[in-house]
Amino acid sequence: MECQIRKHDAFQFEIKLAYPLNRANLEDRYRIEVFLFLPYQLGINESRYTREEFYRDLRGYVRFKTPPITLAELVAEDMETSPIRRLRRWGDEARAGAGWDEARTVYEIKVLADIIRARVRDEGRRIRALIEKPGAADWTAARERTARLAQEMAAALAATRALPEHWAGVAVPARVVKAAEWADEYAGIEVEECLLRVIEAAQGRGGGAAEEDICRTLAAAARAEEQYRVRCGWQCAGRSAARQGERRLYRQSLLKKFCAGALFLSVTQRPGDKRFRQIMYGIAAGVAMAFASVVALIAGRHWPQQSTAFIVALIVAYIFKDRIKDMVRDYGMRRASKWASDRQSELVDQQSGRKIGETHERFGWQEPRAMPAELTGARAPRSGLDRAVSEGVERVIRYAKDVRIDTKLVYEHHVRSLAINDILRINVGNWLDWTDNARKDLLCLSETDRVARRSAARTYPVDMVIRMTGENGEGKIIQGARLYLTRGGIERLRRRPAPPSAQ
């Protein structure tokens, strides 16, 4: 299991979860709980922030984790699960008269581009970690990894771009040809971007000859990708830098949706636990009707049916009947929120068109004093003054999600899959209505005893604790983080190391 928290943009933070798939299980089940500790200054409470508003601020994406195939394995002749190996074989079968399975081929082309992007990105991050290691940058290891990355990346891209030549003499469907072209363009753009990030991290860090080698090697590879796009007509060298950048950014987003979309699951949402809701509505209606009937019986004993008093009693009973029905229904739904879901979703595999799992979500407010120690201990440290001021006025949102995955069904069509990623994005824009100005000038004395002004951010810290539990013995993860909010959005996000006992 994995849990990553990061700032997505000025108003959204992202929680990325990984649900491992165990081939030995018929199904895998996980429970995720997100606790948000809201300071009283935000003014967020049960009356101002409803269940419906929370779900409007929440966006979710579910996808297969990119297959763990390395760049070297992509071009290996004996790697049967390599997309390059599969695409070559299918071309040979088509040449022999077997025909093309267009949907399967296009899917494999997209996955190939996703694998190249993910492996270059991951290796780039490892190289940057070696370079940016505080006080002990390992330039030797970084240079060795860079040389290996450049070699393996070039081989993988060359093998990918050689596929149309391998298919020569075969009637390749136009849809397959276009998919291969778009996947090639997407992989090249993403690879170049990853390389430039490493160069940016290495420049000016005093790495001597190793730094020069790393920057020179990666710059040559990045320049080659740019020139390749120009030759293919995907990037117009004659346009202004601003227009070219705008066009590239928009096109890159389209290419990403095209290629990465192959790994995403289709999510169909609907209200949760309809049967339970209908039962609660029935009980509420029954209680209300029983009250009205008792009033009618009592009134009938004291007044004739044609009397004014009897009619007034029936009107009053009718008025209270509707109110009682609403009160019983709302009370029952609040009390049942711990086990009755607000909404549920079906997870559908786009390749097979079959349902491979489902999720159940719940939103509610948690009493801070009822929080277990393993969760409160995962919060970022607070001062005694902070705890004293927030006691009794702090509000805690609890969002829970139960996930069931039909693992056996997944492996009927996705033998390379090891996990499913669940991406949650929460928008904090609606939390900021009561906040003050984002910055304030503070008065202070300079070294010459003159009064100076210094601008400081006015932040509102929001603690977040995530508990992720595998219900088939996979264990538990507890991860804490702190959001620093201003009127302008998320100032920064600090992730707290998970307690050793929670791993």
Q: How far apart are CA 251 and CA 256, in angstroms?
A: 9
| 33 closest CA partner among 468, 369, 379, 477 | 468
- Residue 501 is predicted with a pLDDT of 46
One digit per residue, the tens of pLDDT, for the chain of length 503 reads 889 999 999 999 999 999 999 888 888 999 999 999 999 899 998 889 999 999 999 999 999 999 999 999 999 988 889 999 999 999 999 888 888 889 999 999 999 999 999 999 999 999 999 988 866 778 889 999 999 999 999 999 999 999 999 998 888 899 999 999 999 999 999 999 999 999 999 988 887 888 899 999 999 999 999 899 889 888 655 556 777 778 888 989 999 999 999 999 988 877 766 666 677 778 878 887 887 888 788 878 888 877 888 788 878 877 887 788 778 777 666 665 555 778 889 999 988 889 999 999 999 998 888 888 888 888 888 888 888 888 888 999 999 999 999 999 888 888 888 899 999 999 999 999 999 998 899 999 888 889 999 999 999 999 999 999 987 656 888 999 999 999 999 999 998 866 554 44
Please check whether residue 35 is in contact with residue 367, taking contact to mean a CB–CB distance below 8 angstroms. no
Domain assignments of the chain as residue spans, ordered by start:
21-56+352-415+428-502, 71-261, 273-338
Angle of helix 102-131 relative to helix 174-202, nearest 10 degrees, comes to 0
DSSP 317: H
- Residue 169 is predicted with a pLDDT of 83
- Residue 34 is predicted with a pLDDT of 95
Task: Count how many Cα atoms sit within 13 Å of the Cα of residue 400 in the half-sphere of its side chain.
Answer: 16
Q: How far apart are CA 188 and CA 226, in angstroms?
A: 8
Angle of helix 139-161 relative to helix 102-131, nearest 10 degrees, comes to 160
In the sheet that holds 460-470, the strands lie side by side as 266-271, 343-348, 355-366, 395-405, 28-38, 460-470, 475-486, 489-496
Alpha-carbon distances, residue 428 vs 81, 186, 336, 348 (angstroms) = 42, 32, 27, 29
- Residue 61 is predicted with a pLDDT of 92
- Residue 138 is predicted with a pLDDT of 87
| 339 closest CA partner among 365, 358, 362 | 362
Q: How far apart are CA 3 and CA 386, in angstroms?
A: 28
3-class secondary-structure state, position 97 = coil
* Tokens linked to 492: 């920064």
| 93 closest CA partner among 85, 136, 265 | 85
Q: How far apart are CA 74 and CA 118, in angstroms?
A: 13
> Please, which residues bridge with residue 5 across strands?
15
Concatenate the DSSP letters of all residues of 263-308 into one string: GBPEEEEEES-HHHHHHHHHHHHHHHHHHHHHHHHHHHHHS-TTSH
* Rg of the chain, C-alpha, whole Å: 30
3-class secondary-structure state, position 386 = helix
Please check whether residue 266 is in contact with residue 203, taking contact to mean a CB–CB distance below 8 angstroms. no
Please check whether residue 344 is in contact with residue 358, taking contact to mean a CB–CB distance below 8 angstroms. yes
Element (H, E) at 478: strand 475-486
| 156 closest CA partner among 113, 185, 127, 189 | 113
